[in-house]
Amino acid sequence: EEQKRLLENRPDQPQNPKVLRIAIIGAPNAGKSTLSNQLLGRKIFPVSKKVHTTRCKAQGVITHEDTQLIILDTPGLTSPLKAKRHNLEEAMLTDPWDSMKRADLVLVLVDVSDHWTRNSLSKEVLKCLSQFPHIPSVLVLNKVDILKKKFLLLEIATDLTEGIVNGKKLEVKSTHKQDSRSSVKLPFHITRASPPESKVPGSPFGQEKNQAQEGSGLDKSSDVGVAGRGEAQGPKHHEPEDVKDVKGWPHFQEIFMLAALRGEEVDTLKRYLLMQAKPGPWEFHSDVLTNQSPQEICDNIIREKVLEYLPLEVPYGVTQVTEIWEEGECGELLIMQSLLVPRESHKRMLIGRGGKVISRIAQEAGQDLMNTFLCDVRLKLKVEVK
pLDDT 10s digits, 316-363: 778 999 999 999 888 899 999 999 999 999 999 999 999 999 999 999
Among residues of the chain, what percentage have pLDDT more than 90?
Answer: 51
Would you say 227 and 263 are in contact if contact means Cβ atoms under 8 Å apart? no
Would you say 337 and 320 are in contact if contact means Cβ atoms under 8 Å apart? yes
Residue 181: per-residue pLDDT: 44
Tell me phi and psi for residue 163, to 5 degrees: 80, 10
CA separation for the pair 23, 252 (Å, rounded) = 14
pLDDT at 276 over 90: yes
When computed from its CA atoms, the radius of gyration of the chain, rounded to whole angstroms, is 22
Interacting residues of 368 by C-beta distance below 8 A, sequence separation 6+: 43, 301, 304
Interacting residues of 354 by C-beta distance below 8 A, sequence separation 6+: none
Between the alpha carbon of residue 300 and those of residues 33, 47, 245, 275, the distances in Å are: 12, 9, 37, 31
Least confident span in 17-31, 65-79, 96-110: 65-79
Intervals of CATH 3.40.50.300 along the chain:
1-172+245-279
Which CATH homologous superfamily contains domain 1-172+245-279?
P-loop containing nucleotide triphosphate hydrolases (3.40.50.300)
DSSP 260: G
pLDDT at 237 over 50: no
As a whole number, mean pLDDT of residues 190-194 equals: 41
Closest by CA position to 315, among listed 361, 261, 247: 361
pLDDT at 78 over 80: no
Assign 150 a pLDDT band (cuts: 50, 70, 90). confident
Residue 314: per-residue pLDDT: 65
DSSP 181: S
Assign 195 a pLDDT band (cuts: 50, 70, 90). very low
Sign of the dihedral through C-alpha 80, 82, 86, 88:
negative
Decide which of 3.90.120.10, 3.30.300.20, 3.90.870.10, 3.40.50.620 is the CATH code for 294-385.
3.30.300.20
Beta-strand runs (E) in 200-352? 224-229, 252-257, 278-279, 319-327, 333-341
pLDDT at 270 over 50: yes
Assign 211 a pLDDT band (cuts: 50, 70, 90). very low
Q: Report helix, strand or coil for 90.
A: coil
CA separation for the pair 253, 166 (Å, rounded) = 4
Intervals of CATH 3.30.300.20 along the chain:
294-385
Question: How far from chain centre, in Å, is Cα 353?
Answer: 36
In this structure, the number of other CB atoms found within 10 A of the CB of residue 201 comes to 11
Closest by CA position to 362, among listed 382, 343, 384: 382
Residue 70: per-residue pLDDT: 95
Greater model confidence, 282 or 79: 282
Name beta bridge partners: 140: 109, 256
Assign 311 a pLDDT band (cuts: 50, 70, 90). confident
Would you say 105 and 20 are in contact if contact means Cβ atoms under 8 Å apart? yes
As a whole number, mean pLDDT of residues 282-298 equals: 93
Closest by CA position to 170, among listed 217, 129, 99, 225: 225
As a whole number, mean pLDDT of residues 131-149 equals: 93
As a whole number, mean pLDDT of residues 237-244 equals: 53
